Amino acid sequence: MQAIILAAGMGKRLGKYTHDNTKCMVKVGGVTLIERLLHQLDKLHLERVVMVIGYKAQELKNYLATIETKTPLCFVENPIYDKTNNIYSLYLAKDYMCEQDTLLLESDIIMEDAVLTKLVNHPYSDLALVDKYESWMDGTVVTIDGENRILRFIPNSQFRYEEIPQYYKTVNVYKFSQSFSQHMYVPFLEAYSQAMGKNEYYEQVLRVITMLDNSGMRALPLEGEQWYEIDDVQDLDIAESIFTDKQYDLLCSRYGGYWRYPHMLDFCYLVNPYFPNQRLRDELAASFQRLLTEYPSGQRVNDLLAAKNFNVEQQYIAVGNGAAELINALMSSLQGKVGVIRPTFEEYPNRLPQDRVVVYQTKAPDYGYSADDLMTYFADKEIANIVLVNPDNPSGNYIPFKDCIRLAEWCQSNQIKLIIDESFIDFSTEHPTYIANEILEAHNNLIVMKSISKSYGVPGLRLGVMASSDMKLMSAVRSKLSIWNINSFGEFFMQILGKYEKPYKQAMDEFRAERSRFVAELQTIPYLRVLPSEANYVLCEVKSSHTPRELAVKLLREHMILIKDCTSKCGAPFIRLAVRDTKDNNRLIEALKQL
């Protein structure tokens, strides 16, 4: 068996990375694509590797001469690489195809070793590697039957989004038998090239062949094996986050966007796994076209929608593009020093110079603290504000409603503004809210922040609210918000949310039951000390030879599960685990037990 690698293209979409190099010389994790691929092919004990080259051909040859490989390497040159597509590159190598069984690959594919091993070891002779279609994929897709026969090759022009559940993306890695090349593929390749010209794609030939009843081609679906096609700088960035030793750090530094990693379970970011329900999703989807092409309302209308949902006066509430926008506007509007509790959500102190931050460091083994602890500590401190995240993040510590009201009254008597972030409070057993007219009016010093992303499960909509009866402060915050800071999808969500109050409460009840079960399961893992939590996450001390970071890296590498290493935040070996649904939680429990 041999391999044929198509590497003649210019890779223009990679910009500066291919100005002086071919695309296959671009590095991922410090290793060029072609070096990685050649070493992978070495492990297969092939008779030879044939490379079709064109752009920067001599530079590529010079570079390959510096790479130590065992498999003999020969070249076919495409002199008109800038005027042709890959059908012509493969046409130039057709005689090689007819000489023996062939692995056909493109040089811009990066994959784990298991992908090639799976293809080579499969007993069927003529295979196209495919993977279940995901939103990040681009290019040719196929449909297959129950016996993995390829029914259709579907080009971009015939792609139908409503048919996505049936689609598989071609990985652009194939295995052809010598017989298939001699009697099927090469004859069709010659005829197609003569009829359609040199500016086509070799998969078009496969599309024609699969129309025959006896084509012989089968698909080989991947089952979670990692691969990526690198066409542009964003592809390169994503590939870096998958195929490097720094995968954990690179993924964490993205701060989301994990829909690009469909095989990864995210136990790091915190949302409600039981809401929104399907009917609400369907209602959003039904209005998609209109919402996409219409301007949202301005700030005044969106504040009115929020006031309706939380049953408060409109002047008491402001809507932000996520709580993060409101936190930034609020912290830049506050005067004086700000008291914070650590460990906590760092977005508040991060918006201030450190000489304005006064820290209460929790000392309890479970990072617990009470309203009395805060009043005692801050009584003799020169502060004008206190930030309380309740339940706190990452500890899950919770101060009951009556004690928070008592703290608000103490702050009021001491001319201190109290900011209560209740983003996780709906997950608590008590689940009160401080966004109420009577509470806000009785405590003019109280500011309430709430992220809609967390409990309502819609982080992609970027919604948050801030409430206070301090009209001077509310005016200052609103002046820092743009008139169209909320998009039409977020506005529509707020418009229809009231209809789903009952399903929301049911979702919260379901969540609390699953959290209790999940915590009980975690407590059976001997190397974890599980802290009590009233939020949608659990903080666990790691009591083993593994550091939290080692545990997180191992979970990601071996199980594609992402968790939060809280060592730096807590100053001790802790991890934070989001609470997901039963199926996902069980997958994490099993992975933790295996470790």
Helix, coil or strand: residue 446? strand
Q: Which of 9, 95, 17 is nearest to 52 (CA)?
A: 9
Q: Which of 575, 332, 327, 333 is nearest to 453 (CA)?
A: 327
Strands in 187-305 per DSSP E: 218-221, 227-229, 265-266
Helix, coil or strand: residue 537? strand
Please give the radius of gyration of the chain, using alpha carbons only, rounded to the nearest integer: 29
Asked whether residue 476 falls in the same domain as residue 344, the answer is yes
CA 470 – CA 464 distance, rounded (Å): 18
- The secondary element (H helix, E strand) that includes residue 452 is helix 452-456
Asked whether residue 490 falls in the same domain as residue 547, the answer is no
Strand partners, 318: 466
Give the list of residues 6+ apart from residue 505 with CB closer than 8 angstroms, or none: none
Asked whether residue 365 falls in the same domain as residue 451, the answer is yes
Asked whether residue 553 falls in the same domain as residue 585, the answer is yes
Structure confidence by residue, pLDDT tens digits, 207-264:
899 888 777 889 999 998 999 999 989 889 999 988 888 889 999 998 898 888 888 9
Q: What are phi and psi of 50, to 5 degrees?
A: -105, 125
Q: Which of 120, 492, 81, 465 is nearest to 276 (CA)?
A: 492
Asked whether residue 198 falls in the same domain as residue 345, the answer is no
* Domain's final residue, options 448, 469, 500: 500
CA 587 – CA 547 distance, rounded (Å): 21
Asked whether residue 496 falls in the same domain as residue 507, the answer is no
CA 577 – CA 514 distance, rounded (Å): 14
Strands in 29-149 per DSSP E: 31-32, 48-53, 73-77, 102-106, 109-111, 127-132, 141-144
Whether the CB-CB separation of 524 and 565 falls below 8 Å is answered with no
- The secondary element (H helix, E strand) that includes residue 151 is strand 150-154
Query: Residue 38: is its pLDDT beyond 80?
Result: yes
For residue 228, give both structure tokens.
Answer: 């990526």
Distances from the Cα of 538 to the Cαs of 285, 533, 547, in angstroms? 33, 6, 17
Q: What's the distance, CA 111 to chain centroid? A: 19
Q: What are phi and psi of 323, to 5 degrees?
A: -60, -25
| SS3 readout for 344-394 | CCCHHHHCCCHHHEEEEECCCCCCCCCHHHHHHHHCCCCCCEEEEECCCCC
pLDDT band at 526 (very low <50, low <70, confident <90, very high): very high
Give the list of residues 6+ apart from residue 507 with CB closer than 8 angstroms, or none: 272, 274, 275, 277
Query: Residue 156: is its pLDDT beyond 90?
Result: no
Q: What are phi and psi of 184, to 5 degrees?
A: -125, -65
* Domain's final residue, options 500, 533, 553: 500
Structural domains in the chain (count): 3
The pLDDT score that the predictor gives to residue 595 is: 87
Strands in 422-546 per DSSP E: 446-451, 463-467, 528-530, 537-542
State the residue for tokens 């490097």. Answer: 244
The pLDDT score that the predictor gives to residue 155 is: 81
Supply the range of the domain harboring residue 69.
2-242
Average pLDDT on 425-432 reads 97
Q: Structure pTM? A: 0.87
Average pLDDT on 509-524 reads 98
Asked whether residue 406 falls in the same domain as residue 331, the answer is yes
Whether the CB-CB separation of 304 and 465 falls below 8 Å is answered with no
Asked whether residue 311 falls in the same domain as residue 371, the answer is yes
Asked whether residue 163 falls in the same domain as residue 292, the answer is no
Average pLDDT on 345-349 reads 96
Identify the residue with better confidence: 523 or 254.
523
For residue 355, give both structure tokens.
Answer: 């000489």
Whether the CB-CB separation of 140 and 152 falls below 8 Å is answered with no
CATH classification at residue 401? 3.40.640.10
Give the list of residues 6+ apart from residue 559 with CB closer than 8 angstroms, or none: 265, 587, 591, 594
pLDDT band at 380 (very low <50, low <70, confident <90, very high): very high
Query: Residue 470: is its pLDDT beyond 80?
Result: yes
Strand partners, 219: 128
Whether the CB-CB separation of 84 and 68 falls below 8 Å is answered with no
The pLDDT score that the predictor gives to residue 220 is: 96
Of 172-176, 212-216, 332-336, 405-409, the range with the lowest mean pLDDT is 212-216
* Domain's final residue, options 446, 471, 500: 500
Asked whether residue 434 falls in the same domain as residue 309, the answer is yes
For residue 173, give both structure tokens.
Answer: 């890695």
State the residue for tokens 């915050």. Answer: 477
Q: Which of 290, 252, 254 is nearest to 268 (CA)?
A: 252
Asked whether residue 154 falls in the same domain as residue 14, the answer is yes
CATH classification at residue 44? 3.90.550.10
In this structure, the strands spanning 227-229 and 109-111 are antiparallel
The pLDDT score that the predictor gives to residue 259 is: 84
Question: Is the backbone of residue 115 left (phi > 0), alpha (psi -120 to 50) or beta?
Answer: alpha
Asked whether residue 326 falls in the same domain as residue 437, the answer is yes
CA 448 – CA 439 distance, rounded (Å): 10
Q: Which of 304, 309, 322, 299 is nearest to 436 (CA)?
A: 309
Whether the CB-CB separation of 130 and 201 falls below 8 Å is answered with no
Strands in 430-532 per DSSP E: 446-451, 463-467, 528-530
Whether the CB-CB separation of 386 and 411 falls below 8 Å is answered with yes
Helix, coil or strand: residue 589? helix
Structure confidence by residue, pLDDT tens digits, 73-84:
999 999 999 999
The pLDDT score that the predictor gives to residue 261 is: 87
Strand partners, 502: none
The pLDDT score that the predictor gives to residue 481 is: 96
CA 538 – CA 512 distance, rounded (Å): 12
Q: What's the distance, CA 16 to chain centroid? A: 26
CATH classification at residue 532? 3.90.1150.10
Whether the CB-CB separation of 73 and 37 falls below 8 Å is answered with no
For residue 428, give both structure tokens.
Answer: 């608590």
Query: Residue 174: is its pLDDT beyond 80?
Result: yes
The pLDDT score that the predictor gives to residue 567 is: 96
Q: What percent of the chain has pLDDT over 70?
A: 100
